[in-house]
Structure 1
Amino acid sequence: VDNTFFMKEDTFRANVNMVNITIGNKEFTKDTNKVVISAEGYKDLVLEVGKDYKKVAIHTKHTGGTATCTKKAVCDFCGEEYGECASHNYGDEYESDGSYHWKKCQNEGCDTTTEKEAHKGGEATTTKRAVCEVCGAEYGDLKQKDPKPADKTTESKKDDTKPAEKPDKKTVKAKKVVVNKKRIVLKKGKKVKLKAKLKPANATEKVTFKSSNKKVAKVTKNGVVKAVKKGKCKITVKTASGKKAVVKVTVK
C-alpha cells in the first residue's frame, strides 16, 4: 500500500490526503484475480478482483478441491481448507483375531478402523472351533468330549459281558471343494441355489454354507442364497477338514 494507515474508531485514516489506494504492482491477467490483504491480529481478507481492476468481491465461497477421509478439500482459488472430511471406506472385508473382528478403511494413507466387536454365532464341535457368523473366522475352544461312564461291576458274570460295538464307517476327506458359481448377482428378494462338489468323488465330508454379511444376503444349510438388501458379501462353502471355496455375491 502506498500510504501508512492507522485504525481509529473503526475508520481507516491516512497521514496524507488520500484519493486512491494502490494494491500491488503487477498487472492482472485472469478474469478473476486473488488479492489478499493482511493485518496483524486479523484474519486475511481475500478479494476477487476483475481483470479490469474495477470488479471486486469479497471471497467467501470456497470452490474446487477434493476432500479425503483424512483431509478437507483445499479451495482452488484461495488455498484454504474448507468443508468436512470425506467418509471412510471400510468395504466388505473383515480383519480378526482369536476373539474380535473389525474393518479397516481401504482409502490410501488411512489406518482408521471400526470398533472391535466380539465374534458370535456358530457352534464348536470336538474337532472344529466355532465359526463367527459375521466375519467367518474360527474362534473359541473345541467342544469337550463327554466323559465315559464308569464301569459297573456286579456279582453276575452275565452283567459283566458287553456286546461288541459296531465299527463306524470311515469318513473320506475331500482334497478340494468346488462350487457351481464363483460370482452371483441378484436383485433384492431373489434366490439362487449353490451346488458344492467334493473331490475326489468318493469324499464323504459334509459341507457348510456361511454368509459374511447376513444383512446383504442369507444362505441356508442347503446352499440356497437369498438377496436381502443392496450391497456385497461372500458365501463361504467349507468342509469339516477345512477345505473351502468362496462365492462373491452382489445384490442390486
Structure 2
Amino acid sequence: MYAYGRNVLKEILNAKYSIKKVYFTNSKNIDSELKKLIKKVSELGISHIFLDNEKLEELVETTKHQGVIIDIGREFNYADLNVLNSVDHEPLIVILDQISDPHNFGAVIRSAVASGVDAIIIPKNNSVEVTSTVIKVSAGQIFKLPIIKVTNLSRTIDELKKKNIWVYSADMKGTPYYELDMTYGTCIVMGNEGKGVRENVKKHSDGIVSIPMNNNVDSLNVSVSCGIILFEAKKQRDIRSK
C-alpha cells in the first residue's frame, strides 16, 4: 500500500511505523523541508530511491504526492482489541458501523486524534478499510492511534461493556449528546452514511445519542456528527481534570 505526502511521512516516522521503501522526486528544485526528510530517512537507514514526477504520479494516480511516496507494505497494520488493556485512563473509543466513504473515514480519524480518542474500531466486512486516500485525508494522523478491525461489532460491544465502557449509538432520536456524561469509559458508534447504525448494533448498545438540530435538518455528515460528539466528550473530560 502506498501513502503519500510530506506530513504523512513525518507522522509515519514519528510513530516508528514499519516502512518498506520511500520514493522521493528526483527533481533538482526541491525545498529545504524535503531535503530534511530525505536526510532523516537516510539517517534511519530506510530504503529509498529517487524517481521522476511522472513515475511518482503513476504509483499513486495523483499529482498531489508532494514529491514523497511511502510503501508501507501490502496491508495496514491493524491493532487487536487487547490494545485497550494498556489505556491508563477512562477510554474514549469510536466504532464505525459500515462507513463506506474513505474521505469520511479519514476525517473521522483527524477529529478522533484531536479529541483524544484511544482507538477506532471497524468491522471486517462491508466497511471501508484503511487506504491511501484514508491516510492522506487523515493527514497522517491515523498513525497516532490504533485502528482495530473486528469480525462482529455486536460481540465487540459486549466485550467493551465488560470493560465498564458505556456504548452509545448515534441516531436522530436519542439523548442529546451534551446530556451524556462521557467522562467515564465511553464508546460512540457512528453509522453508515445512508442507513445509519444497524438495529442489531443499537440493541447491544447502552443507549442512543443524538444531535438536536433546527430548521428541519435531519442529519449531518457522519464525520461532522462524530466530531461534535467527540469534542463534547473532550470538553467534559478537560473540565473534570481541572
Give the number of the structure with larger relative contact order, counting CA–CA contacts within 8 Å between residues 6 or more apart.
2
Structure 1 or 2: more strand by fraction:
1
* TM-score (normalizing by structure 2): 0.19
TM-score by length of 1: 0.18
Higher share in helix = 2
